[in-house]
Amino acid sequence: MRLQPGEAGSAAPACISHIAPFDSYLPTIPDIMNVLNIAAYKFVALTQLPQLQAGILEALQTRALKGTVLLAEEGINLFLAGPAAELHDFLAWLRLDARLADLEVKESFSSAQPFRKLLVKIKPEIIRMNHPAIQPAAGRAPAVDAATFRRWLDAGHDDKGQPLVTLDTRNDFEVDVGTFKNAIDWRISKFTEFPQALLERRQDLVGKTVVSFCTGGIRCEKAAIFMREAGVQDVYQLDGGILKYFESNGHAHFEGECFVFDERRALDPTLKPRVNPQP
């Protein structure tokens, strides 16, 4: 029996210069990919996290879904996979919570389950930056959608004619798998290194329009706010990240694949996994 929100035991939730291709001996991808993979996040004030954790865990276990959900007072971040019907049912349940009613999801498919287990964790941050004053829920930095970003990349400048630069906010090993052509890559090994990297190099961004990007958008949410507060004036975040860009623009201006933190290893610009997860 599936619990509904409000019932006992339930809680209604919240410049790359080198591309490293994967080894050629890795398994090929079958034509049939019937496991839905979703990624979603939202910065929103959440309370009663233990109850929320318990409710989400039970809802996921009931539907036999796997992956990771991170909860913090600043919001929710999730990566899940399983049968499409079960995932959509879970999302419908999750969105019954008014705080998560507009949760946006990015979808892709694989031929097998890419996660080995289910985890629902409470964390200090849903994406760690170690700068608690950066609160996207209190106000986002300006965002640029994928279509506008593609147009700016085609032109080499924004709509005002100002030179465009793209800034990859991901870890160095992610960038090595693929990134936008000529993107700035500061070779950080973890996101907590981004603030210092920015402070050391912000003068390089003066007079330019900066579009920060990451896999799905969560890191550039915080990165763009930090850059604006550090005095970088013309800063945008790529709405929905690389994965959202792939949905409508494919490989345009992108070199390589997009690294993901599961057994698929990476997604190509058609959102197909590079590695076939083993059942």
Give the up-direction half-sphere exposure of residue 269: CA atoms within 13 A in the CB hemisphere.
13
- Where are the strands (E) in the chain, listed by range? 35-43, 66-72, 75-82, 105-110, 118-122, 143-144, 164-168, 178-180, 184-185, 209-213, 235-238, 254-256, 258-259, 266-267
Three-state DSSP state, 105: strand
Q: How confident is the model at residue 279 (pLDDT cuts 50, 70, 90)?
A: low
89: buried, middle or exposed (CB in 10 Å: 19+, 13-18, 0-12)? middle
Print the domain residue range for 260.
136-267
Asked whether residue 115 is domain-assigned, the answer is no
| Number of residues in the chain | 279
Q: State if pTM tops 0.85.
A: no
- Please provide residue 164's backbone torsions phi and psi, each rounded to the nearest 5 degrees: -105, 135
Give tens-digit pLDDT for 151-198. Answer: 999 999 999 999 999 999 999 999 999 999 999 999 999 999 999 999
Spatial CB neighbours of 274, under 8 Å, sequence gap ≥ 6: 22, 26, 29, 257, 264, 265, 266, 267, 268
The token pair at 55 is 């409710």
Asked whether residue 19 is domain-assigned, the answer is no
Asked whether residue 54 is domain-assigned, the answer is no
User: Running DSSP on this structure, what letter comes out for residue 181?
Assistant: T
- Whether residue 10 is predicted with pLDDT greater than 80 in this model: the reply is no
What pLDDT is attached to residue 170?
Answer: 98
Asked whether residue 1 is domain-assigned, the answer is no
Contact present, 149 and 245 (Cβ < 8 Å): yes
Average pLDDT of the residues of the chain: 90
Query: Is 214 a known active-site residue?
Result: yes
Asked whether residue 21 is domain-assigned, the answer is no
Say how far apart CA 230 and CA 226 lie, in whole Å: 6
Three-state DSSP state, 123: coil
Asked whether residue 130 is domain-assigned, the answer is no
CATH code for the domain in which residue 217 is found: 3.40.250.10
Contact present, 236 and 165 (Cβ < 8 Å): no
Number of domains present in the structure of the chain: 1
Give tens-digit pLDDT for 60-69. Answer: 999 999 999 9
Asked whether residue 123 is domain-assigned, the answer is no
Residue (of 45, 217, 40) closest to 143 by Cα position = 217
Asked whether residue 146 is domain-assigned, the answer is yes
Q: Which residue in the list 15, 214, 220, 258 is annotated as catalytic?
A: 214
Contact present, 215 and 260 (Cβ < 8 Å): yes
